[in-house]
Structure 1
Amino acid sequence: MSADAVGRHMPAIATLDDLAAMMAADPHGHRYELSPEGVLSIMPPADGEHALIATRIMAWLLAAGWPVDQIAQVVGLAIPGAEGVSGGRIPDLVVWGQPPANPRQVWLPAANVLLVVEIVSRGSEAADKAAKPREYAGAGIPQYWTVDRDAGQTVTMYRLVGDRYEMRAATPLAWVLNTSVTDHLSLN
């Protein structure tokens, strides 16, 4: 899809329904996200390393007995904003305390989300480390992790304290995957 084609059909104010339609029409599998302030972001599909990191974390959770219907990769989350406006983010991994009530929706509510994981890719650093933490904290998501694409695949873990995240730990992914899920994630 060319920039000209997108621009010609772009609504003045994009909604989550518009984003779902754009993703459905995109033959290249880009991710379309919308901040609660209405800022549109278009990201290329994830590469192989990115997908493997998400799969390793998901397998770790499953091996620890986390229910499969409470974990999802690349699922849309509706992020509440001011004056009833909602943004939409597509985290790399989401863990719920309870399964979503209606998983057939494109944009699932952030209610009951325990953890969001974002794997930092070239070009996503600013969103993953500044904008998204503010939005996820505003949605009340108790834990937020970023995974850097450095040599150790550093996992930086944040816990919600009040209305913002505080860093709890930064450690290599291999170390996290060799520890207990309960050391890092509350089971309720």
Structure 2
Amino acid sequence: MSAATVGAEMPAQVTLDDLAAMAAADENHRYELSPEGVLSVMPPADPDHALLVTRIFAWFLTNGYGPEQVVVDCGIDVGGGRVPDLSVWADGRPPRRARSSYAGVDGLLLAVEVVSKGSEVADRVTKKDEYAKAGIPRYWIVERDAGNTVHRLTLDVQAAGYVNSDDTQPLAWLLTTTPDVG
């Protein structure tokens, strides 16, 4: 199918329902939609990215967080549709559908993004701003540098944005600690 054909079949304005339908029809890509209506299409995670997410997921589970609290690739409604690599939810408040198949942010304690080539600006700036506006209390950005540096940010409601809550640490160090996001 040509780009012209795809473009001709695209709706004038993509909704969360459209986004969900595209994601359901194509398991080879991740689809996200900004609150302003900008559609992003990304390839699936590479093995290194997937391993980083799995290590963080296992760390939460082995430290007492339940499987309904720690979720991988759950779409969330932040005015658009975003899919953090990992999300952590309050005990007894797992993700629930809001609009379309995307979860609302009620009960969402933490969104984690592992920076990938091509998503650097989205992960470090765009999603950071969107998640702050949506009121998500914590946002972690995991770099793909030699130490897999983790920037742990906490929402400052008065500043209307995130601030560093702790010193930035390598993932290997973080995984030796006990998670505290609640």
Give the TM-score of the pair, scaled to structure 2: 0.91
- Equivalents in 2 of 1:142, 1:43: separation in Å? 26
Structure having the larger proportion of residues in strand: 1
Question: Could you say which residue in structure 2 is the equivalent of 1:88?
Answer: 81
> Does residue 1:177 correspond to 2:139, yes or no?
no
Identity of matched residues, %? 53
Question: Could you say which residue in structure 2 is the equivalent of 1:62?
Answer: 61
- The answer (yes or no) to whether the contact 2:97–2:104 under 8 Å persists in 1 is no
Give the TM-score of the pair, scaled to structure 1: 0.88
Output the amino acid matched with 1:139: A
With over 3 angstroms needed to count, the CA separation of the structure-2 counterparts of 1:68 and 1:11, relative to structure 1, is same
1:21, distance to aligned residue in structure 2 (A):
1.1
1:23, distance to aligned residue in structure 2 (A):
1.4
Output the amino acid matched with 2:162: Y
- Equivalents in 2 of 1:171, 1:87: separation in Å? 30
Runs of 4+ off more than 6 Å: none
RMSD: 1.6
Question: Could you say which residue in structure 1 is the equivalent of 2:119?
Answer: 124
Question: Could you say which residue in structure 1 is the equivalent of 2:102?
Answer: 107
Output the amino acid matched with 1:36: P
Structure having the larger proportion of residues in helix: 1
1:65, distance to aligned residue in structure 2 (A):
0.6
- Equivalents in 2 of 1:46, 1:67: separation in Å? 24
- The range that moved more, 29-38 or 94-103, is 94-103
Question: Could you say which residue in structure 2 is the equivalent of 1:82?
Answer: none
1:131, distance to aligned residue in structure 2 (A):
0.7
Q: Deviations over 1:40-68 (max 9, x none)?
A: 11111100111111110010000001011
User: What is the SS of the residue equivalent to 2:80?
Assistant: strand
Q: Map 1:17-166; keep pairs closer than 5 Å.
A: 17-26=17-26, 29-79=28-78, 86-97=79-90, 98-102=93-97, 106-162=101-157, 163-166=160-163
The number of residues matched between the two structures is: 176
- Equivalents in 1 of 2:101, 2:2: separation in Å? 24
Output the amino acid matched with 1:62: L
Output the amino acid matched with 1:166: V
Q: Deviations over 1:15-39 (max 9, x none)?
A: 0110111112225x21110111111
- Equivalents in 2 of 1:4, 1:181: separation in Å? 48
- Equivalents in 1 of 2:3, 2:113: separation in Å? 26
- The answer (yes or no) to whether the contact 2:76–2:83 under 8 Å persists in 1 is yes
- The answer (yes or no) to whether the contact 2:136–2:155 under 8 Å persists in 1 is yes
- Equivalents in 2 of 1:24, 1:2: separation in Å? 21
- Equivalents in 2 of 1:139, 1:61: separation in Å? 23
* Ranges in structure 2 where 5+ consecutive residues have no aligned partner: none
